[in-house]
A = this chain, B = another copy of it.
Amino acid sequence: MTKTKGPMSGFRDFLASELIPRQRMIETIKKVYESYGFLPLDTPAIERFETLTGKYGEEGEKLIYQFEDHGGRKVALRYDLTVPLARVVAQYKDELVLPYKRYQVGNVWRGESPQAGRYREFLQFDADIVGAKSSLADSEIVMMMADAMQALGVGALISVNDRRILDALSEKLGLDSDASRKLFLIIDKTSKLGKDKVLEEIKIEFGDKVSELVLQFLSISGSSEEKIDKIREVLGSSVALLEGISNLGEVFSILKKSGYGENLVVFDPTIARGLDYYTGIIYETYLLDLPEIGSVCSGGRFDKLISLLSDGKVDLPAVGTSVGVDRLFSALEKLGKVEKVRTNSKVLVVNFSGIDPSNYSLLVKKFRAAGIAAEVYYDSSKLDKQFKYADSLGIPWVVMFGEDEIKKGLIKVKDLETGDQKLVNLEDFISSFKK
């Protein structure tokens, strides 16, 4: 047999054994987001090229899947979910109720080099609040992330910072934006490399004066609230810094009083987030038992981006978070938090030859009506083939209803895990099953 070609490199098929737990993870997070009143949104995979162009920088632009459609129009596949959000907010501004809290789960496409092990089609999962500026809005996103991790059953620590603190640092150091970006990138590695290595690197790159101030900055200690207070002593009192500090102070006060203590959320002045467009609070989420994989859920406030992405059509503040679906799922797998399921089916009814198949249809119907997913084998094949089917899919129970059982009005049930087999009443089995 010749090897059949699979999906193209960078693309994936999801068979049930991966898709069922992935869907469950996504549903779990969705449920948390919906409990906060977030609304679902769906937008087309294809957008006008003009909607996307100029939004992702030079490097990003190259990765856009673009082509001509049947009408000769230049179109492109969705590159992220933020540009469509900006388009939607601009387009439906008269009917959307503000603040607009939406989540969207959808594939995006990027012509990444597949050698890098990157996917060309991957799921993004964003939640954003558009049209609210308060520290309460900022806090809710953080609490929602913490709740999502809790719902998934993983320990996580959310690290929070504010872009205005980093900006004050670079201002105090007199660095231009390129130098600042370089500095933040190094500082961002503190949790990975440790303070000493980071300071050493900064000394080499920027000299003693810079590394001394950064040392002071990194040496701020205490609880999150104490650290936030001390930042001012190190960085001065620009209006933007004071705004940032005051907002962070409010956020940490709300978080603490709402039961999200230092074990769940900490202020960490070293986290920077790569993206330039954040204007206020920023945060990242690290799994306690797998911090090395990096943040699984990140975001921040981007008060100027909606205006930029909507080509100036609407100007609304926004704060949000994005789940790294692939990274989070593989982390959950590594942590043993993914239930290995290959099917939702609980029962296979064996098909005996010579028996009217409606006996089996009626039987599975009763299981299904009781909320128990059940299947009947379609052919009266050899018993071992039928058992193998159940076994391969991980269906836990095989039910036999042959001539003998039909006469007795009972079913024979085999537990494939233990091998135990017993003759029981259908109703009894169903009620024991539901317990």
Interface residues, chain A, with chain B CB atoms under 8 Å away = 1-2, 4-8, 11-16, 19-20, 23, 34-37, 39-48, 51, 63, 65, 67-70, 73, 75, 77, 87-88, 90-93, 95-99, 101-102, 107, 109, 111, 120-121, 129, 132-137, 139-140, 143, 147, 250, 253-254, 256-259, 310, 313, 342-345, 348, 351, 356-358, 360-362, 364-365, 368, 371-376, 378-379, 389, 392-393, 395
Contacts and interface: CB of A to CB of B under 8 A. Distances in A.
B136 A357 contact: yes
A132 B375 CA distance: 13
23 contacts: A1-B313, A4-B87, A4-B310, A6-B87, A13-B43, A13-B44, A13-B91, A13-B92, A15-B96, A19-B41, A34-B344, A35-B374, A36-B364, A36-B368, A37-B345, A37-B395, A44-B121, A97-B392, A98-B389, A136-B376, A139-B361, A254-B361, A259-B362
A42 B13 contact: yes
Copies in the complex: 2
Contacts of A15: 39, 41, 88, 92, 95-96
Contacts of A102: 16
B310 A136 contact: no
Given A6-B91, A44-B121, A87-B4, A36 B373 contact: yes
Contact of A37 (B133, B134, B256, B343): B343
A12 to B, nearest CB: 7
A6 B6 CA distance: 35
A293 B95 CA distance: 30
Nearest to A356: B257
B378 A129 contact: yes
A129 B376 CA distance: 13
Contact of A343 (B8, B39, B63): B39
Contacts of A88: 13, 15
Contacts of A351: 136
Contacts of A378: 99, 129, 132-134, 136-137, 140
Given A23-B40, A253-B358, A69 B73 contact: no
Contacts of A360: 136
Nearest to A96: B15
A365 B48 CA distance: 41
Contacts of A375: 36-37, 101
A365 B140 CA distance: 10
A93 B15 CA distance: 12
A344 B42 CA distance: 16
A379 B133 contact: yes
A63 B70 contact: yes
A43 B245 CA distance: 47
A285 to B, nearest CB: 19
Given A67-B68, A379-B132, A373 B34 contact: yes
The residue among A35, A111, A345 with the most chain B CB atoms within 10 A of its own CB is A35
Contacts of A250: 357
A109 B357 contact: no
Contacts of A139: 357, 361
A136 B378 CA distance: 6
A77 B76 CA distance: 12
A7 B136 contact: no
